[in-house]
Structure 1
Amino acid sequence: MSRIPVYEPCLDGNVSAYVNECLTSGWISSRGQFISRFEEAFASYVGADAATSVANGTVAIHLALEALGISSGDEVIVPSFTYIASVNTIIQTGATPVYVDSLSSTLQVDPAAIIAAITPRTKAVMAVHLYGHPCDMDAIVEICREHNLLLIEDCAEGFGSLWKGRHVGTFGDAATFSFFGNKTITTGEGGMVLARDPAVMERCRRLKSQGVSPSREYWHDMLAFNYRMTNIQAAIGLAQIEMADHLLNEKKRVADTYARLLEGLPLRLHKAVGDVRHSYWMCSIIVDDCQDRDALRAYLAEHGVETRPFFHMAHHMPHCHTNQVLPVGEELSKKGINLPSYPKLTTQQLEHICATIHAYFDCAAV
């Protein structure tokens, strides 16, 4: 069997037709009809009033933070068990990330830890919907309301994830998505920003486009950025939105197959907990013994299966290190593996992956 990557995008549907339309029309940069069509289709799909597209998921977070006025002297509470972009963008605004622990059951930020971390300098909470499972949005929204805090949702890995029937990204003051090549819907690179307040949304649109005046040509009256998405990216994104339900259904099929074929092994799967829809951006396992994590990954690699480790804790990184001990996240970080998770995985491939995992544990038991 040929090598099985951890992810590959599904570029079916109207992707080629829409991209070719960009090429033949000449609209290939950050203007063109597909920009607004993708933004409108995305907002409609997730249940938001409006959305604005950007160049990638990281600048989406930075743009949201800037538009909300996060700046020097502010503290933003964020799980340490997350991708580093969540933290880097906080630091880029001049604010201070305040790291908190996660829940073992869901891998998401612990609401009790958020409450314990609030200080007079706390300005916002960043909820990261990790690996496709939503955070406890009832608890987090209530915390932010009670303490008058801004709420930013990092939905880079959460497209298609629902909390009690409601799409992630529609709870916070602002929310961000990523469309990197390994995301459920992709534009190659790219991202999206949502905002509850129309004034914040308008500020996002101006900030992402060099702060240009809406009424005066080539007049720029604020320090701003070039974070715009191209028309070609948006064309791909529109075609992806059209396939979104199919892609999510296929990823659920993959996750269900793993659950069935890996039952009884010394590991657990990252399953949906509570009244949620887990979008299974990544199908993940957490081994019982951390010593098996790297050995199992090496064994899978020897048999043609690519995997990823769980993220390192952000507060362990040299440029944003603290001496905190966050035991749940630290244990998860050492035990977790992301398995191949793309929609076009075949039954034969999934059986090979699971048989290889079984074989590893059979050998380890001898």
Structure 2
Amino acid sequence: MARGAIALAVLILAGFVAVGSGASAQIPQPTTTTTTAAPVSPSTTEPPSNSPPKLVGGGGDDPGATKGVIPPGYAKIIASVKRSKANNTGGLLAALQPLVDRGMSRVDAVALGFGRFPVVGVANFTDDWLNPRFTPVFHLHEGTDIFALTGTPVRAPVDGVVRHSAGGAGGTAAYIRTVEGHEVYFAHLDGFSDVKPGQSVKVGDVIGFVGSTGNAAGGAAHLHFEIHPKGKGPVNPKPYLDQWLAQAMAAVPQLIANYAGTPQAAPTVTVPEVLPTTIEKIAPPRAQLAWASSANPTGGALRLAEVEATVASLNVDWNHRAQVAEAQRKLAAKADVQAKAVLRPLTPRGLLDVLGLR
């Protein structure tokens, strides 16, 4: 996955610069992301690494596209959706900074710390479920648009088998189907990683890169993300994305403790099987090393093991940092509980046990 490693390094470096400079708090309002332009071919151009990313779209609660006539009856459906607040990865990137301060590369820190969240870097999204869309014809938006720079790596949030698609509204797109028959859809990709159709992937494997293909051509680069339980009709992915970010935040203190050599019990964080029952849990050090290897083969497990051994002698007040991280963990854990409360009424009863939402 040579391109995956390069893109991950470039985008993550830009992401940490943006967080450090306060750019994540100045995200502009969303723009229309569906146009009538023809599909474009995937680009191989990498974004510049010498300036912080300036994202367009997804910064505030998305009012939905308004350039068109909404057919009778649909306005009531759109208005009935109780939308959650906009979200972004800025807080998680900031929480992972102590690992970088400790000597770990930014690529490895983010590879370890993003868990199941599919876009690895600076990203923002709103609850745009069932908002009106008018390209190519009127329809309701059945996913979540995650805005990020073109070329930002897209990773698998579940274990499963990959298949590819090209053309149409979704442009360059990918699917992951789990052993239980659940399906996750990724549209408007700039291109694929070296993962081939029919190949099995694990949580954290890079499968493609954020782009603006299909009916997103000419608009802001983003990942259109869908979840289809049992391969049937889609459900709102926003609560799942929120929960994955909260879970990643909750796991940060343990990551810091592991690499700081600070004695600390593993946090009691519930990580439900959001789709398949084979999803790897957050926390085991071996799994963390494996995630880093999958996203950055040139660094790999050997690099992380070296970091863990050599930074132990650094003179840093890690007790204080651990206390701060623990406070962040408690806040994230509270958000995790709230996210589950939102998910339960939205999830079919037969899936509650599979998704760990009882």
TM, length-normalised to structure 2: 0.28
Pair member with larger Rg: 1
